[in-house]
A and B are shown apart, each in its own frame.
Chain A
Amino acid sequence: DADVTQTPRNRITKTGKRIMLECSQTKGHDRMYWYRQDPGLGLQLIYYSFDVKDINKGEISDGYSVSRQAQAKFSLSLESAIPNQTALYFCATSATGYGYTFGSGTRLTVV
């Protein structure tokens, strides 16, 4: 099994719908992250969490919310999806002295 698992891998949804992307990890890391990748823009940080009670906004948090259900689970929600949220979304974990471990990504299309 992968260290960081994201579900679903692909999702097409309609404008205005609520959607949740899920992430689980077996690394035992406390820190978890959600990034968004758009072609030519690199990765941008949406939210990050140091533990279940510590949630922080990243540089592009508007229109998104998160929930840290347990040390190993961190979900990202789009309350009312819009087309410009079409992107590739990555979950990642980290620990001091290490780089980040990324999931395989969720490709989200909002029509």
Chain B
Amino acid sequence: AQSVTQPDIHITVSEGASLELRCNYSYGATPYLFWYVQSPGQGLQLLLKYFSGDTLVQGIKGFEAEFKRSQSSFNLRKPSVHWSDAAEYFCAVGDPSSGGGADGLTFGKGTHLIIQP
């Protein structure tokens, strides 16, 4: 069975500083990989996804993520955070053999990002 680990429950970053959120997965092959953001009281919004090809993926809101097969990781990065980036971030994986998660995505437990002024 596939699983997703987000090692950091909470992360605090100063506004303007760089950010890296960690995600590790357990899966027999390379899964489809996703990062979602959830603002307070809102649903989940897709930041970016990786299916194949270039291992550095660009997303919305200035985020990027790098797939590292050797480390089974898909870490999310942003060079300079803004106060509006404060939210919950979820990493998720989907089974490529099922059409990229047609039978459901497996989510990590989330990382809560706090932005200090």
In the complex, whether B29 has a CB less than 8 A from a CB of chain A is no
Instruction: Tell me what chain A mostly uses at the interface: helix, strand, loop, or mixed.
Output: strand
Chain B's closest residue to A91 (CB) is: B43
Do A48 and B99 touch across chains, with their CB atoms under 8 A apart?
A: no
Q: Chain B 58-100, CB within 8 Å of chain A: the 1/0 string? A: 0000000000000000000000000000000010000000011
Do A104 and B42 touch across chains, with their CB atoms under 8 A apart?
A: yes
- Which chain A residues lie closer than 8 Å to B100 at the CB level? 94, 96-98
Do A42 and B101 touch across chains, with their CB atoms under 8 A apart?
A: no
Among A4, A43, A105, point to the contact of B107 (Cβ < 8 A). A43
Chain A's closest residue to B49 (CB) is: A99
Please tell me the size bucket of the interface on A: 20 to 34
Q: Chain A 25-62, CB within 8 Å of chain B: the 1/0 string? A: 00000010100000011111100101000001011000
Chain A's closest residue to B46 (CB) is: A99
Known: A100-B46, A104-B43. A45 touches B104 (CB 8 A): yes
Known: A42-B109, A42-B110, A99-B34. A94 touches B101 (CB 8 A): yes
Of listed B36, B45, B90, B107, residue having the most chain A CB within 10 A: B107
Number of A-B contacts (CB under 8 A): 58
- Which chain B residues lie closer than 8 Å to A31 at the CB level? 102
Which residues of chain A from 61 to 111 have any CB-CB distance to chain B below 8 Å in the complex?
90, 92, 94, 96-105
In the complex, whether B31 has a CB less than 8 A from a CB of chain A is no
Known: A96-B99, A103-B43. A42 touches B108 (CB 8 A): yes
- Which chain B residues lie closer than 8 Å to A40 at the CB level? 9, 109-110
Complex alpha-carbon distance, A59 and B106, angstroms: 10
Do A100 and B101 touch across chains, with their CB atoms under 8 A apart?
A: yes
In angstroms, how far is the closest chain A Cβ from the Cβ of B53? 13
Known: A102-B44, A104-B43. A97 touches B51 (CB 8 A): yes
Residue positions of B touching A, CB distance < 8 A = 4, 9, 34, 36, 41-46, 49, 51, 90, 99-105, 107-110
